Amino acid sequence: MAAAQVVVATALVHDGRVLAARRTRPPALAGLWELPGGRVEAGESEAEAVVRECREELGTAVVVGERIATDLRIDAGVLRVHTARLADGAPQPRALEHAGLRWVAAGEVAAVDWVGADRAVVADLVALLG
């Protein structure tokens, strides 16, 4: 039996807030907010996938930190959330593949209309920002 596909999500923290990205697709998730990320490609570490996905989706460079939470089962496989910060001199994130971006403070995290998998890590995000 093949190992489950790993999908990384990035809890990108800057100035005490975490970045949320608004989905455009698929239709069932459009308009909901998520932590940016995507599939880990063959031969790529999870940290390398976080860096690549932030470059592709946000047009910025990040330094990957620790994993938070636990493995989350999702339709695409298993979701693993990693923390990250903007690399020194990196540009502010831009919504290259999303409808919009917003920085969310600890007190606002629970009120965000997250996709289901990311809603499961709300307490972890609040603790991370706390």
pLDDT value for 3: 72
Residue for token pair 């209309």: 113
In a domain, 100, yes or no: yes
pLDDT value for 70: 92
CA distances from 2 to 5, 46, 62, 77 (A): 9, 18, 30, 11
**pLDDT 10s digits, 60-97:** 999 999 999 999 999 889 999 999 999 999 999 999 99
What is the CATH classification number for the domain harbouring 16?
3.90.79.10
Phi, psi of 59 (to 5 degrees): 65, 30
CA dist 61 and 11 (Å) reads: 14
112 in Cβ contact with 33 (< 8 Å): yes
In a domain, 94, yes or no: yes
Give residue 61's domain range. Answer: 6-129
Whether the full predicted model's pTM is greater than 0.85, yes or no, is: yes
| Beta partners for residue 20, in sequence order | 102
pLDDT value for 4: 83
Contacts of 25 (CB under 8 A, 6+ apart): none
pLDDT value for 1: 53
In a domain, 29, yes or no: yes
CB half-sphere exposure, 62, CA atoms < 13 A: 31
- Answer whether residue 7 shows pLDDT above 60: yes
**pLDDT 10s digits, 14-66:** 999 999 999 999 999 999 999 999 999 999 999 999 999 999 999 999 999 99
In a domain, 1, yes or no: no
pLDDT value for 81: 98
Report the domain count for the chain: 1
